[in-house]
Every structure is written in C-alpha cells, then in structure tokens.
Amino acid sequence: MTLRRQKINIFGTWVDDISQKRAVFLIFNMVKSRKRGNYAVTVNSEFVMLARRNPKFRRIVNNASLSLPDGWWVAKSKLIFGGKHRERITGVDLVQNLCEKIGKKPISVGFLGGFGNVADEVKKRQIAKNPALVVKIAEPGDPSIGHDLRLKSKISALGGVDILYVAYGMGRQEYWIDRNRKKLNVGVFVGVGGAFDYIAGVKRRAPDFVQRIGLEWFWRLLWDPARIWRMRVLPVFAMMLFAKWFRLKVLS
C-alpha cells in the first residue's frame, strides 16, 4: 500500500500536511493492509523542540508512518512552510473519530496508558458511543522495559490488536512504540499523549473558542501548573516561527 501525501519540514521535524478525515482514512487503510508495526505520532511544538535537541527522538518521529499536527502552532506553521491544511489532528479527536469509523467493523482496538482506571473508563465511554466496538485491552500499562514481555504475551494470547492507542506521554510513548513495534502483534500504534484524561473526563478540555485561537496550551497550564517546565520551549518556538515568516514574507 502506498500512502502518497505531502510532508512539511518544521525545523527538522517532518509533519504530514493532511486533513483529519484523510488521517483517519490512512490509518484505517494501514489496518486493512494487515501489515504490522505501523505507527502514528501526534506532534505539537514541544515535540518539534525536543526533536531539535534529541537525534534519537527526531528519528522516531520522522520515521513514523504518519506524523500528525496536534498542536495549534504546528498546524498553522505548516502554512508558512508551504502546506495547505491548517486543521489540527489531536489525539482526543483521533481516538474518537477512529473508534466511530471502525465501530461496526471487525477491527479491534486497545487503550494503553493513563493512571488508575482511566484507560478502562475510555473503553467504557467509547463502547457506549459505539456498541459494536471490539476492545481487546484497556489498562495503564508500563513504559519500562521490564513490562514488555508481559504485554507481548498478553497481546499474543488475545490474537493481536489492530489499533493500539498509547498514552504514556510525550517522549515515553514514542520510545516505547519504537522499541516494541516489531515485537508486538499490533497493526498500528497511535501515540496520543494525555488524550485519555480528556476522553475519560478526568481533565476538562479547553472550550472550542480557546482551541481555535491557539490558547489551549494556556488552558492546560492553568489546570496543571507543573507543565510550565516542559512549556518553557514554546516562546522559543514562536520566535523561531516569526523569524522564519519574516524572512520568507518580508525579506524575500
């Protein structure tokens, strides 16, 4: 199966310039191809900045089957770098839209990550919306190497999982996917960060108008001040983006 699409290079990180509808279609087709080990990442500004200083992380993100623009700034910056689509493809929307599309098809999913019973709550809510959805696994899991063998045995005993949503958080989930994608009987791994918390109702998602104006990061910071350390790179990204725009639009 050939997935022809345009990729945009944002400061060294390649991001697919596609719509959310197209992203769902491509993941669905990956599952139908029966090839194992595909993976999708959902990229925000923090991803881009981490990839700039960490070659291993950059390799994992750039080698992804799909690299989707999760963050508002990433989605909009694609336009500066020659892209056409300004739509965000968030982990939350990706989980819900994919589950809705495959809800009546013989395609299985799994929810891995989150704390406590969050993954199980996501399972219950998605089945409530899509009663025929086949969920084979829903658990917090563990991104450490010591738990890989246990999960491999469990997934093998279940006959494999077509789509596994992984919510270990930025970095940890990508390293885990890269380490396990050729070992586990999984069709497509999808890294979704903190999406489970919002789908399960543990955290409140920013209102639509806050998302539209690009201030969801500020909303999350208000509810979780501990994020300020990882968000320290956002002003740097914004300045780099402005400098790029200025060179392309004003000086050229």
Mind listing the pLDDT tens digit for each residue in 17-72? 999 999 999 999 999 888 888 999 999 999 999 999 999 999 999 999 999 999 99
SS (H, E, C) 122-152: HHHHHHHHCCCCEEEEEECCCCCHHHHHHHH
Stretch 169-184: mean pLDDT: 95
Mind listing the pLDDT tens digit for each residue in 94-127? 999 999 998 778 899 999 999 999 999 999 999 9
The pLDDT value recorded for residue 216 is 86
The pLDDT value recorded for residue 86 is 87
**CB 109, CB 83: distance < 8 Å:** no
Quick check: 1 pLDDT over 70? no
| Cα–Cα distance measured from residue 158 to residue 155, given in angstroms and rounded to the nearest whole number | 5
Q: What proportion of the chain, given as a percentage, has pLDDT over 70?
A: 98
Question: What is the residue extent of each domain of the chain?
Answer: 7-247
pTM of the model: 0.92
**Which of the residue ranges 2-6, 31-35, 246-250 would you say has the lowest mean pLDDT?**
2-6
The DSSP line for 223-237 is H-GGGGTGGGGHHHH
Task: Say how many residues make up the chain.
Answer: 252
Partners of 138 in beta bridges: 111
The pLDDT value recorded for residue 5 is 67
The pLDDT value recorded for residue 65 is 96
Q: How far is CA 176 from CA 124, 168, 230, 250, in A?
A: 25, 9, 20, 43
What angle is formed at CA 95 by the lines to CA 92 and CA 99, rounded to 5 degrees? 145
